[in-house]
Structure formats: C-alpha cells, structure tokens
Amino acid sequence: MWNPKPLLVVVSLCISALSSPCTAASGAGKPLVAAVTKDASTSLYTAPLKDGHPLVLDLTSPVISLTTCTSKNGTVTTLSANATDGQNPLFPVSFSAVASCTPQAKVPAGAVGVAGLAPSSQSFPVQVARTQKVANKIALCLPSDGKSTSGNSVGVAIFGGGPLFFIPPDRGDFTTMLAGTVPLHGFNGSPGYYVSSTGVAVEQNRVSTSGGMLVIGLSSTIPYTAVRPDVYVPLLRAFDAAASGPNFPWMSRVTAVAPFERCYDSTKLPQSLLGYSVPQIDVMLEGGQNFTVLGGNSMVQVNGNTACLGFVKAAAGHAPAAVIGGFQLENHLLVLDVEKKQLGFTTFLNAIGLSCSNFNFTLAA
C-alpha cells in the first residue's frame, strides 16, 4: 500500500515563513535537469542543487535536509537547476523549497545536505512539481566510477518527467524505451520505492526461496545490493553452481575481499559491452518482467586482479528481501512516476553502447 507520511511541522513552516505561497522562479512548466556525480570515497551520488553545491540524492529520504542551517524546525531555502527540453539544459531556474536542518552524518566533502527523493509531501521532486508545474516524476540515471565513451562519468537526473535523449539524440526519448514497468508499493510505512518480486533466477534457473512474493527496495545510498539471509544463501549457492558449470570455465575463485563473499581472478574473465562474462542474475518482477543484472552491474573490481560479486548479506529480520544498491542501478535509466505509482527501467545502457554519461550538458543556444 502506498503510504508516504506527511511532515506537518515542515508544511506549517512553509506557510508561515513565506508571505506568498511556496512557489518561485518558474521554469515555464519545463522539467529541471541536473548532473549527477558519484563520490569516490563514499559511493554516494550528488547533484549541484544548492548554490552550486552538491546535495546527496537519496531514494529513501522523504525530505530535503541541509547541513548549513541550525533551526530545529527547518527553513525555507533556495535551490536551483536548469530547465530542459530533454536534450540540453536551457536556462537556470531557482525556486524556494522547504528543508529540514537535520545534520547528516555521512555526506561527501563539499556536499551541503540531502535531496530526499522518496515519495512524500516535502520531497525534492514534489517541490519541483509544485513550483514548476510539472509532473511528480523522476528520470534518474546513475553514473559509474569508470570513464565513459564521452570522456567523463557524469550521470543525469530530470525532475518533472521526460523526455530524455542521450547523444546522439536521434536514438529517441529513452523514457519511452523501457525494458519493463512495474507497480510501486509501500513497505511497512517506510519511505522509499518498493516493488514486488516473484523470485530470483541465476542463468534462467529459479533460486529456491521460502515464502511467496518478495519485497524489493531501491537505494542510492547503499553501494551494493543487500540481500536478506534467507534469500542470500540460496542465491549464492545458485551462483556457485552456475560459475562452476561448463558455461563458465574461466571463473576461478580467489580469496574473498570484504564485504564480498565470492571473488574471482578477473584476469581470466572475458569482457564485452555487458561487462565480465559471468552468470546472469534476474530479479523476476510482478507482471512477468525481469530486472537483469549482467556482469557490468554484478562484478565489482576490487583490485587489478580481482572482481567480486557485488551482493552482500543484510541483517536478518523483517526487512525487504533485497535492497538494490547504487552499483546495480548504475547505467540503467530509472523512471520513477509517483503519480502513477510506477517504476520503469531501461536495459543496461552499456549493452547498447551508451551510458548514463551520454547526456549533453551543453547549454542550448
């Protein structure tokens, strides 16, 4: 059940602190675009939304929070991005937004807070939607650490819907070229984005897990997919079986590197646009579509000779069966439509010769 929690104290602040409603400089009904970068030391993703300073993009936080204010009740601040036609930034836009002053224990150097993206009455996307008269919808493409074919590793976020074109733009609007769509659900009142899964497969073989439907969360603030023990153990067992089978004779186990439990000699692993040639993992979603994790999103290069399966064991309990972390989301375009309560996603963009770094951030003439 979709159940975002309103933040009444902050809403009250917005009404009392401003002499006019919480709207500001308009982007003329156009979505706003921001560049997304990955911080090497924290693996967090940021966008320059506060006076050119970064805010952490957090899919599980329902509010904007700043480290630069001190009021216990929150504040009204000015945020900024660029209006976009989906191909380029068009012109700068500033707008007023309600923020909390909750200190953030973990933000990258230079970052001044968090842009909460989870559905709520005071999230960053809903405040963009209100002030800019656009849809409460996010197109989010998280970049990887590595250099892309365009020479950088900057991803893109469009707030307010689409379209979204990558270079070259004649390939079309990628928000309409989704590999799958699936309903979004709530989970025990927790903020964030959750989907239902019928199970997990390795090399098209279903992993045996107890129980029925699985709840899967999305997170941009945990680096790797965290899997509940009752799912993690059989998943690892199935991956071992596939990796030691005849289809993957090049997979040679080496000493594990924390926090991972399965590591391999990467000098022996063949590579392609899909990443390392390793067993494919599919998260089988409600409605029959799969979110596919290929080698490019499953194997973490921990040193020059070692790559590890980028899944970790979560704590036992009533947590979601898995929370898909940033590494597994990278170089997929995610379309999070809060109004329709729907998640859409593309295939792994590297597989078609693109990446999240293929958006053209040159200001349109």
Would you kindly state where each structural domain of the chain is located, as residue ranges?
32-167, 180-345
Gap between the Cα atoms of 232 and 200, Å rounded: 10
| Cα–Cα separations (whole angstroms), residue 146 to 168, 303, 331 | 20, 14, 11
Is residue 139 scored above 90 in pLDDT?
Answer: yes
Using a pLDDT cut of 90, give the percent of the chain over it: 81
Give the per-residue pLDDT at 344: 97
What are φ and ψ of residue 182, in 5° steps? -150, 145
**Domain spanning 180-345: CATH superfamily:** Acid Proteases (2.40.70.10)
Of 2.40.70.10, 3.40.640.10, 3.30.450.20, 2.60.40.10, which CATH number belongs to 32-167?
A: 2.40.70.10
Gap between the Cα atoms of 248 and 264, Å rounded: 12
For 274, the token pair is 């899909």
Quote the pTM value.
Answer: 0.90
Gap between the Cα atoms of 247 and 249, Å rounded: 6
Domains 32-167 and 180-345 share a fold: yes
Is residue 6 scored above 50 in pLDDT?
Answer: no
Round the average pLDDT of the chain to a whole number and report it.
89
| Cα–Cα separations (whole angstroms), residue 349 to 79, 205, 294, 329 | 30, 24, 11, 11
Give the per-residue pLDDT at 39: 94
Is residue 134 scored above 50 in pLDDT?
Answer: yes
317-342 residue pLDDT tens: 878 999 999 999 999 999 999 999 99
Is residue 80 scored above 90 in pLDDT?
Answer: yes
Among positive and negative, which fits the CA dihedral 313, 314, 316, 317? negative
DSSP 8-class letter at 351: G
Region 231-240 average pLDDT: 97
- Helix or strand holding residue 235 (H, E): helix 229-243
87-120 residue pLDDT tens: 999 999 999 999 999 765 679 999 999 999 999 9
Q: Which contacts (CB < 8 Å, 24+ apart) does range 316-319 have?
A: 316/228, 316/229, 316/230, 317/228, 318/188, 319/228
Tokens 């892309």 belong to which residue? Answer: 148
**Is residue 233 exposed (0-12), middle (13-18) or buried (19+ Cβ within 10 Å)?**
middle
